[in-house]
Amino acid sequence: MYYTPHIDYAFDSVEYIMRAVNYGWLLRYTHANGASFFFIAVYAHIGRGLYYRSYVHPREKVWYTGVLIFILLMATAFLGYVLPWGQMGYWGATVITNLFTVVPFFGIDIAYWLWGGFTVSNATLNRFFVLHFLLPIVLAGLVILHLIFLHKAGSNNPIGATLYDDIKFFPYYVIKDFFGFLIFIWLFGIVVFFYPNALGHPDNYIKANPLCTPPHIVPEWYFLPFYAILRAVPNKTGGVILMGGAIAVMFLLPTVDKQSPFKSPLFRFEFRVFFWAFVGTVILLMIFGTLPADEPFTTVSRLLTTYYFSYFLIVLPALGWFEYNAIYEPLLPVHQNEQPEWVDLAFPTLKILPWSSLKFGLISLLLSWAGYKKIKIHPAVPQGLVGDPIPIVLSTPEIEVLLDNKYDKSTNIYVARLIKK
């Protein structure tokens, strides 16, 4: 209503909204900081998916749509950053749109089409303004598709179990998510009302000047890791390929990291070490994205970029291969090609603990490490033991396990009959 998508009036119209429109300052600060907090939630969500391997079967489509949402969200945020027509937004648009010129044969034409001329101009601002409110509609459609795939495949859980007794969304998840929402809104309110410009750049309060280049062009904080990867390569084409590959490599995760039999990081110490090293790498890339492209920052950025891609393309496949061949396969009771219709296994129970869900969990863990796909423990208590055990189901490869009530009190052994699925 008050914003004007014109290079002569856009900056002044934003200042008018801030100073003259009733609660315009609140609307603008909520919108700008809301984008940053939305990215905080998105990065936390992606991190959780990477940590708990939420991209493996049967949730590949959930992961693919999630990555598409992330790409579209970044595009929408970039377009919005240009609209106030501040100095940093203008030169950020100049840098990013120039990256399309590396596309063979059609690169220059794509850049001219985006600009609507031969440089970032009024036509560019108008197109960015239209796309900024059209892309969220596409984004909403992708979110709905994402939820449909999630509803079909089911949610993941911290122990990587395949649960047949689902927990109802209401009231359990509603209350838990509402509690997290209250904390999120509280932190968001603190930033909006007390530190509204903490996540922005002061140069964006200077009107765009095509004749004056800022000494150091810095994008919004949520683009900084990818910006650091772009600058780490001295060749423009190579930098663009790596920057795009830093996002595209996430599409490969369901393919390159599918060999490990363990879904949960709770049973994978080596994975946790490499994962937190990866998180530290992303944070350091974010920091180095704010620094000048000089030595030693450039060299360190290249090392961090190397580990970023190695984590996806080398570390995860190698860990999966190691866990399958060195841990999982040797524990198989018989060779997979020679598995009988059923096998009896005996595991000693723990004398020091009462018969409870903890014992069921320990036995389930032993059986899962032995390589059986579905471990279904019947909620029956063997004679001579007390407690109220809870049925537990874990997921490992090709066999369904039924624990019969075969308990030898003299030898303290609980016998499980493993039936081929």
Considering the chain, what percentage of its residues have pLDDT values greater than 70? 76
Q: Per-residue confidence at 19, pLDDT binned at 50, 70, 90?
A: very high
In angstroms, the Cα distances linking 3 to 126, 137, 240, 421 are 12, 20, 33, 63
Higher-scoring residue by pLDDT: 144, 328: 144
**pLDDT, average across residues 314-322:** 93
**pLDDT of the residue at 398:** 36
Handedness of CA 133, 138, 142, 143 (dihedral sign): positive
Q: Could you write out the DSSP letters of every residue in 115-154? A: HTSSSS-HHHHHHHHHHHHHHHHHHHHHHHHHHHHHHHH-
- pLDDT tens digits for 132-145? 999 999 999 999 99
Buried b (16+ CB within 10 A) or exposed e, 327-348: bbeeeeeeeeeebeeebebebe
Q: Per-residue confidence at 195, pLDDT binned at 50, 70, 90?
A: very high
Q: Per-residue confidence at 102, pLDDT binned at 50, 70, 90?
A: very high
Tell me the helices (H) and strands (E) count for the chain, helix number first.
Answer: 14, 5
**pLDDT of the residue at 118:** 92
- pLDDT tens digits for 285-307? 999 999 988 889 999 999 999 99
Lowest model confidence (mean pLDDT) among 66-80, 309-323, 394-408: 394-408
**pLDDT, average across residues 175-202:** 94
Average pLDDT, rounded, for the chain: 81
**pLDDT of the residue at 109:** 94
Q: Per-residue confidence at 337, pLDDT binned at 50, 70, 90?
A: very low
Domains of the chain in start order, with CATH, are: 10-323 (1.20.810.10), 336-420 (no CATH)
* Residue where the block lists tokens 């999120």: 184
Residue 120 makes CB contacts below 8 A (sequence gap 6+) with 90, 93, 94, 97, 210
- pLDDT tens digits for 372-421? 444 444 333 333 333 333 333 333 333 333 443 344 444 444 444 444 33
Which residues participate in catalysis according to the annotation?
151, 155, 176-177, 220
**374 with 402: CB under 8 angstroms?**
no
The runs of H, that is alpha helices, within 154-173 are none
**pLDDT of the residue at 259:** 85
Count of CA atoms in the C-beta half-sphere (13 A) of 355? 20
**pLDDT of the residue at 393:** 37
| 3-class SS of residue 391 | coil
**pLDDT of the residue at 159:** 79
- pLDDT tens digits for 237-286? 999 999 999 999 999 999 999 888 888 888 888 999 999 999 999 999 99
**pLDDT, average across residues 101-108:** 92
Residue 356 has phi, psi (to 5 degrees) of: -150, -175
